């Protein structure tokens, strides 16, 4: 089995913004599908894992683009496992045009948890370390974007509170990972998208939120980036994001 997987995509008309560029949330969805397929085909998919009481949990996702795919374009996502660090594995992505040149790249970090205890598992020993067979070292396949950034909130400002509804929830009853991306980008005034380009989007998933939770969005600008923190009613941090327009 090859170590690198290919996931073709097509930029559908209802998946583009007013600039004709694919929504970042849609790209995020494609990346997660590509990751799921890659795992599934190697026996590490959610279905197989659930039989053994394990499941993947997405911890970080960072996407950086030179250009966002345009309406009706065809492209391909390539994905591979960069490394395994006991409780975490890093999976990278190349987002390619039909001619093979890159729109951009993405990095993601995942943990495997036991569905009963909710504790992370040691990936190096789980299933006799089977996942290590699929690692593609950096020198073989590079992902030329910076690693996940750090969040340093000093005095973030509450900018919006929303209720969550039917469309926000996934099959596990959690607020859908992709929906957070939509809600976070909806915080920005339209002029940002009109005058600038969304170059980099990072998200760090901290804890689950559920249908009916109110989500509060706190924002802090620093060094040309916008950091966003999403909190539940309880004040607990659900996720954090870093958004860079250029």
Which one of 50, 53, 161, 172 is in contact with a second copy (CB under 8 A)? 172
Distance CA 210, CA 213 (A): 6
CB of 200 to a second copy, least distance (A): 17
User: Is 12 among the residues that bind a second copy (CB under 8 A)?
Assistant: yes
Segment interacting with a second copy, rule: CB under 8 A, options 87-95, 170-178, 215-223, 225-233:
170-178
Query: How far apart, in whole angstroms, are the C-alpha atoms of residue 227 and residue 153?
Result: 8
Measure the CA–CA gap between 15 and 27, rounded to whole angstroms: 9
Cα 40 to Cα 5, 32, 61, 66, 165: the distances in Å are: 11, 12, 19, 30, 30
Instruction: Determine, following the binding rule CB under 8 A, whether residue 19 of this chain makes contact with a second copy.
Output: yes
The correct pick among 178, 204, 230, 241 for binding a second copy (CB under 8 A) is 178
Footprint on residues 198-227 left by a second copy (CB under 8 A): 211-212
Smallest CA-to-CA distance from 65 within 101, 40, 99 is with: 101
Identity of the residue, 39 or 78, whose beta carbon is nearer to a second copy in the bound complex: 39
Q: How far is the CB of 27 from a second copy (least distance, A)?
A: 12
- Measured from the CB atom, is 173 or 224 closer to a second copy? 173
Q: Are 186 and 219 in contact (CB under 8 A)?
A: no
């Amino acid at each position: 089995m090859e170590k690198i997987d290919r996931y073709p995509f097509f930029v559908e008309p209802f998946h583009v913004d007013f600039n004709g560029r694919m929504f970042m949330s849609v790209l995020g969805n494609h990346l997660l599908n590509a990751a799921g397929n890659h795992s599934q085909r190697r026996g590490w998919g959610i279905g197989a894992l659930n039989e053994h009481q394990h499941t993947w949990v997405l911890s970080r996702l960072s996407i950086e683009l030179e250009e966002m795919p345009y309406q009706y374009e065809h492209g391909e996502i390539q994905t591979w496992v960069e490394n395994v660090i006991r409780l975490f594995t890093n999976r990278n992505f190349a987002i390619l045009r039909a001619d093979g040149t890159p729109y951009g790249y993405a990095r993601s970090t995942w943990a495997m948890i036991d569905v009963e205890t909710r504790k992370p598992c040691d990936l190096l020993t789980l299933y006799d370390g089977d996942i290590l067979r699929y690692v593609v070292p950096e020198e073989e396949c590079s992902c030329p974007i910076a690693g996940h950034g750090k969040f340093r909130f000093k005095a973030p400002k509450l900018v919006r509170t929303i209720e969550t509804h039917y469309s926000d929830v996934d099959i596990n009853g959690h607020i859908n990972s992709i929906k957070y991306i939509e809600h976070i980008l909806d915080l920005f005034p339209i002029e940002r998208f009109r005058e600038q380009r969304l170059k980099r989007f990072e998200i760090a998933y901290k804890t689950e939120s559920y249908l009916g939770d109110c989500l509060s969005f706190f924002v802090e600008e620093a060094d040309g980036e916008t950091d966003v923190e999403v909190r539940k009613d309880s004040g607990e941090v659900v996720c954090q994001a870093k958004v860079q327009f250029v």
